[in-house]
Amino acid sequence: MPGKIGTGTALIARSTVRLVTLAILANAGLVEPLLAAVFPARCVECRSWLARPTRGPLCEACWLALPRHASPLCRCGHVLPPGLAGPCGRCRRGLTEFEAGASIGPYEGGLRTLVHELKFRGRRRVASRLAEVCLEIPAVSALLASRPIVVPVPLHGRRLRERGYNQSALIAGALARRAGLSCVSGALERRRWTPPQTGLSAAARRANVAGAFVVRQPAAVAGRTVILVDDVYTTGATIRACARALRDANAREVRVLTIARVT
């Protein structure tokens, strides 16, 4: 018994020394350089070595070079043709089911890479960094005015079990924490299994998600401004279906935030 006690005490002492050492290194800003030396990694976009692996999967230069919208935007976030300052065609015809929209930039380059890393390669920490980038966008700051609640586009239970997480919920949660807002992850439910939208025409996408979403927490959204969060805005079929469900549940206003937008 004394031997076991002595061994246990030694293990505790070594663990304490490790923790103290890590704390000293962290205070001195040496953790990331050590990680970079012991576990070198490359930027998934330009393949340069990462000086700060905990800020991956892109290098700092590629984070700074993320594509941004260069053309004027409609209030819904649609990219307008050069020289056009008015609303887009859908908004002019009153066909937009939400009041405002924004995204970081077009679905290309580093943004496309990051979405793929988050969505298909399990890089969950990407969601937190993308939320930081979102908050640097003036159009996103405008969306967050008047203390809205944040609601992610949901996955069907089958897809959630396959992937293990909902990338839109990770983004929504990270954004809400940084902005001091409430995230209501269970407000919307995808009640019907739908095949992936990839490769479908705009009409097929609309038919695919028609009636697929329902508000499970109507009291949480009634009379509230809702920020609907998704990773990519392609044709808008999924976003519009979710927005209709929220409006049917008496949401006061629906605004849309996506990481990227297909232009």
Contacts of 203 (CB under 8 A, 6+ apart): none
pLDDT at residue 256 greater than cutoff 90: yes
Radius of gyration, alpha carbons of the chain: 22
Instruction: Determine phi and psi for 256, rounding to 5 degrees.
Output: -120, 130
Average pLDDT over every residue of 182-188: 95
What pLDDT score does 37 carry?
Answer: 45
Q: Which amino acid is at 260?
A: A
Residue 36, pLDDT > 80, answer: no
For residue 176, what are the contacts with CB-CB under 8 A and spacing of at least 6? 150, 182, 183
Residue 122, pLDDT > 50, answer yes
pLDDT at 75 over 80: yes
DSSP 212-233: -EEES-HHHHBT-EEEEEEEEE
Q: Is the pLDDT of residue 6 over 90?
A: no
Mean pLDDT, rounded, of the chain: 85
1 vs 83, more confident: 83
CA atoms 226, 76, 238, 159: torsion sign: negative
pLDDT single digits (tens) 41-62: 899 999 998 877 666 799 999 9
The pTM for the full model equals 0.80
Quote the pLDDT of residue 180: 96
C-alpha distances in Å from residue 230, one per residue of 77, 173, 221: 13, 12, 17
DSSP 173-205: HHHHHHHT--B-TTSEEE-S-----TT--HHHH
Mean per-residue pLDDT, 148-174: 95
The residue among 133 and 156 whose pLDDT is bigger is: 133
Q: How far apart are the first and last CA of the chain?
A: 71
Residue 208 clears pLDDT 90, i.e. is over it: no
Least confident of 33-37, 151-155, 191-195, 212-216: 33-37
